[in-house]
């Protein structure tokens, strides 16, 4: 995950975090300001309105998604290495922003009337297509297995973060990159069978 460079990015990051945590895009401005460690006036200064801040948060999400999926284009690595690095980033992102299905649900609901929501849906489809190509190549899947493998792969990456409390005392899958990579390799091996 990238480092935040400005107060504006910190506010957007916090808004995205709270949307995921609360499972809704309707997060109070005061809660965002408190979590980000800024005054409400800073949010007003950077964004003007809550709607504008939410639009920017969705654009921030799109930018982050494109950045993560760009790992799949790094041709200096094998397809399997790219898939592992990508999967680790997805897990880290989901650990930090658990519950982001709220962004997708709202985007799906508003895609006909909101350009940013429409972009979330379109970009997500394009990025999943890119991931599926590499996943299918690595797993040597036939077309009938392709969709199932994609669902299994993404669910296996997001479930641990979405269900953090279900892991009891051993949080190493969530805290250790080495453990996540081991887990990801195991998932890929299962899909290859």
Please report, rounded to a whole number, the percentage of residues in the chain having pLDDT higher than 90. Answer: 64
Report the pLDDT averaged over residues 68-94. Answer: 94
List helix spans (H) across 140-176. Answer: 143-162, 172-175
SS3 24: coil
What does pTM read for this prediction? 0.85
Note the pLDDT of residue 35: 94
User: Which residues, 6+ apart, have CB-to-CB distance to 19 below 8 Å?
Assistant: 25, 27, 57, 97, 99, 100, 102, 103
Give the pLDDT band of residue 185 (cuts 50, 70, 90): very high
Report yes or no: 77 and 16 within 8 Å, Cβ to Cβ. Answer: no
**pLDDT over 70 (residue 167):** no
d(CA 74, CA 78): 9
Note the pLDDT of residue 170: 63
Provide φ and ψ at 141, rounded to 5°: -75, 150
Report the pLDDT averaged over residues 109-129. Answer: 92
| N-term to C-term CA, the chain | 31
E strand map for the chain = none
Tokens of 40: 């409400």
Please report, rounded to a whole number, the percentage of residues in the chain having pLDDT higher than 70. Answer: 93
């Amino acid at each position: 995950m990238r480092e935040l460079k400005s107060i504006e990015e910190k506010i957007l990051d916090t808004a995205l975090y709270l949307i995921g945590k609360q499972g809704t895009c309707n997060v109070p401005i005061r809660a965002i300001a408190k979590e980000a460690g800024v005054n409400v006036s800073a949010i007003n200064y950077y964004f003007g309105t809550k709607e504008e801040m939410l639009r920017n948060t969705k654009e921030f999400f799109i930018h982050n998604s494109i950045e993560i999926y760009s790992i799949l284009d790094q041709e200096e690595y094998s397809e399997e290495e790219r898939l592992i690095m990508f999967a680790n980033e997805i897990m880290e992102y989901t650990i930090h922003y658990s519950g982001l299905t709220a962004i997708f649900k709202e985007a799906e609901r508003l895609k006909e009337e909101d350009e940013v929501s429409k972009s979330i849906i379109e970009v997500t489809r394009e990025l999943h297509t890119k991931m599926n190509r590499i996943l299918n190549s690595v797993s040597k899947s036939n077309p009938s297995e392709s969709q199932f493998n994609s669902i299994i792969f993404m669910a296996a990456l997001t479930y641990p973060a979405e269900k953090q409390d279900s892991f009891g005392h051993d949080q190493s899958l969530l805290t250790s990159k080495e453990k996540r990579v081991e887990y990801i390799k195991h998932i890929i091996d299962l899909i290859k069978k």
